[in-house]
Amino acid sequence: MSQANSHQIQAQQNLWLATLGFAVSFACWGIEPVPCCSI
């Protein structure tokens, strides 16, 4: 049961990180015309 909870938490963390990364890259594109945040 704790294993299922850890999987759910991991999925939520991945979604949050993806959203945060998208927001950062989007803001960066808005500030600079070049992909300064792309790695």
Over its length of 39 residues, how does the chain's per-residue pLDDT go in tens digits? 667 788 888 989 999 999 998 888 777 666 665 655 555
Can you tell me the distance from the alpha carbon of 24 to that of 33, in angstroms, rounded to the nearest whole number? Answer: 14
Instruction: Give how far the C-alpha of residue 8 lies from the chain's centroid of Cα atoms, to the nearest Å.
Output: 16
The domain spans of the chain are 1-39
Instruction: Give how far the C-alpha of residue 11 lies from the chain's centroid of Cα atoms, to the nearest Å.
Output: 12
Given this model, what pLDDT does residue 37 score?
54
Given this model, what pLDDT does residue 33 score?
59
CA dist 22 → 1, 5, 6, 8, 15 (Å): 32, 26, 24, 21, 11
- Predicted TM-score (pTM) of this structure: 0.51
